[in-house]
Chains A and B, each alone.
Chain A
């Protein structure tokens, strides 16, 4: 029984592909449940994260009903939620706040990051660096199971008295400290998720630094690997402050400390009984010190995926690979010094606000360079509009909108009007939904043959792509209008209380209709995903005629160990259409072009 350390020759034999685990049930569990193979763990991450993405999406669909039709009964399913959440099928503000907080938490910490880093990073990084597994396979499994437990804790919290956390995914104290027990569960869940990310990022960093195949110099790494490396560094350095802050908030809640509770609080007309003397802003600083780098954790792997797909489908090297790499490193570094631009309106002086505006303007430059590189990489290419390419191409303008709308929010004076309005929601959703999610879909379509040996259906892929794109724009673009009109976020009735929002309430309905369309479009993906497992077109080992190392092995790869023999790398990652080469792609591991 080999289940520790690196895969070895014995491992190949034992875990050979096609072994269905007949025999002792332990071996099935070892192999498919508590596996230490990075590919199995990657798939586990992927499936779990997709389920959470779906759940997080369902939460927002519920909220969208309430926003479009405030205080009206949700037909048919509304009553299923019970009197403490939706009496007579009408949503209560408490439940709305739970849904809001958990939508953000689930999407960010349980959906996108695990999919982008846990699934794609786990599955692809060892393959792309030519390693037999991650550097620490058991740690890898531990990372997944911590994530799983963290997710289960978050889900259970919906069913405890008072329901789940309801102070937003940002959990600002004092509100988070005085809210019901769901917040305690949220903090506990976060501790698991943070530790999962820390273990995972250590693993990815070590794998990339230590386990690269001979000849795979840093400047020959696929850009996706660079993106994962920087992402992991961000996670490793940014999460510990939040973990500490989480424990501090936990103590404030259960042990009567006052890290975040100032003196002299009066809550509902009663003096707060804690000791006081704390600082409510301290949490915001610690939280955003994580959460701004976290934004780049969400976006960098997506950029990595997009670059892989762009190069492959334009059949030419990326323009300015070095510029890309330096930009992404710079971006990662700068993401640690912009956090307070989330806090311009907390009483900031000119010097500090100028500093954070300046860093914010500076961080926009590498983002612009990366987008420019992506566009210019297409120049001179021979562009194939495959399904993954459609998603990757759409990422460019969508992320462009997300990035550009960050500018007015990054200028503190413009932020006076736009702060905490729907403009902010529109901005970051353009970054992470039509941005990151489209890129992740591109990745799924692109590497599905690698994982399963079959291709996803192209027609269904297009039916998935076009409505998704249109509906995402239809969902998030109108939010800028709401934001300009001054409609605040996180309002249970979508602003119906306020006079200045009256003319724009129809936009809430428009957004809701678009989100329904978006939900319908995902049916094509879900059907395609499952049907293709059995009925997808069988493919050869390198169906996209790619150059990077994951295509140097079979599809799906051999069992635990990945490559039949150690691979050696002879060239950069994107040697497509090399002059005088026989084919239009020159894989990294083949000596001859």
Chain B
């Protein structure tokens, strides 16, 4: 079923839970296909069989068949089976209960018109304090309080999300201004970013690659260009990337100046 779904134009899948999403999509489409083709053939047969020329006088009684009730019942049963067999468990496991912070690499993502701010906690694994009062689009996009000890090693990028492969990633998603939607097509991850809320999500990439973050919710005139870049490295590559960022932060790690 997974293959069936992916044969239907879906993008590459590269996360541990992608198969479950694609599997459900495959099963549902198979059900839809069977129903549509079955009904379609029956419908077409009736149109031909009972056209006026073939059947000049209508039958007041029509059909007394109860077959349709069985079909309707069967459809309902299959739907409930898909719901409780596939959708609910996967939702409970993957979406509603994301990997806890201590078992995953946690990254904060804050949407804004029209960019994705990516905030890594740095080597200490603890996010420094942030405040919207400190937000400066140019110098401090997420408002990290550089006076906070925990913030010293925090790394902030714009539109550049880099993660290591085969590592559980936990993303804590929020938004500064309007509703955005954080979409990683290849990870089968999509989550609305809603101002005033922080919504966690998690996934584990199974392949390395360079992909994109798409915004899936209309957020203004730049919505179509609210594209981020998403790179899954092997562990070594990720370490190297991270080391570069750390070096940048350290190079700039004079005490927060008046002009910062």
Contacts and interface: CB of A to CB of B under 8 A. Distances in A.
A binds B: yes
Interface of A: 92-94, 97, 100, 166-168, 172-175, 178-179, 262-269, 271-272, 278-281, 314-317, 319, 345-350, 353-354, 357-358, 361, 364-365, 368-369, 371-372, 375-385, 393, 396-397, 400-401, 404-405, 407-408, 411-414, 416-421, 481, 484-486, 488-493, 497-500, 504, 576-579, 584
B220 interface: yes
A287 B257 CA distance: 47
B177 A381 contact: no
B63 A578 contact: no
B43 A396 contact: yes
B50 A314 contact: yes
A175 B178 contact: yes
B58 A315 contact: yes
Contacts of A499: 211-212
B179 A485 contact: no
Given A174-B177, A319-B63, A348-B96, A380 B217 contact: no
Given A93-B222, A178-B177, A486-B11, 11 more contacts: A268-B137, A345-B191, A377-B62, A380-B62, A411-B83, A411-B86, A417-B190, A418-B25, A486-B214, A488-B214, A498-B212
Interface string B20-43: 111011001101100110011011
A342 B183 CA distance: 17
Interface string B221-251: 1111101000000000000000000000000
Contacts of A375: 39, 42-43, 46
Majority SS at the chain B contact face: mixed
A348 B51 CA distance: 51
Given A93-B224, A368-B72, A420 B217 contact: yes
A500 B185 contact: yes
A577 B58 contact: yes
Contacts of A357: 83, 87-88
B217 A94 contact: no
A511 B97 CA distance: 40
A263 B196 contact: yes
B47 A383 contact: yes
A142 to B, nearest CB: 35
B56 A347 contact: no
Contacts of A481: 8-9
Contacts, number: 297
Contacts of A265: 132, 176-177, 195-196
What interface size band does chain B fall in? 35 or more
A404 B196 contact: no
B163 to A, nearest CB: 18
B161 interface: no
B177 to A, nearest CB: 5
Interface string B167-181: 000000000111101
A504 B132 CA distance: 40
A504 B10 CA distance: 11
Contacts of A100: 218
A485 B11 contact: yes
Contacts of B62: 316-317, 319, 376-377, 379-381
B111 to A, nearest CB: 11
Given A262-B196, A264-B196, A368-B75, A419 B216 contact: yes
Given A178-B177, A345-B190, A347-B192, A380 B9 contact: no
A434 B214 CA distance: 30
Contacts of A173: 178
B61 interface: yes
Contacts of A92: 221
A584 B59 CA distance: 10
A93 B225 CA distance: 10
A458 to B, nearest CB: 15
A584 B186 CA distance: 61
A416 B46 contact: no
Contact of A414 (B25, B55, B60, B63): B25
The 9 closest A-B pairs by CB, nearest first: A262-B196, A269-B137, A380-B59, A486-B185, A175-B178, A347-B199, A315-B58, A382-B58, A420-B216
Nearest to B199: A347
A350 B88 contact: yes
B60 A316 contact: yes
A420 B223 CA distance: 13
A365 to B, nearest CB: 5
A172 B11 contact: no
B9 A485 contact: yes
B58 A314 contact: yes
B218 A381 contact: no
Contacts of B191: 345, 347
B95 interface: yes
B126 interface: no
Contact of B192 (A279, A345, A384): A345
A372 B75 CA distance: 12
A352 to B, nearest CB: 9
Contacts of B112: 266
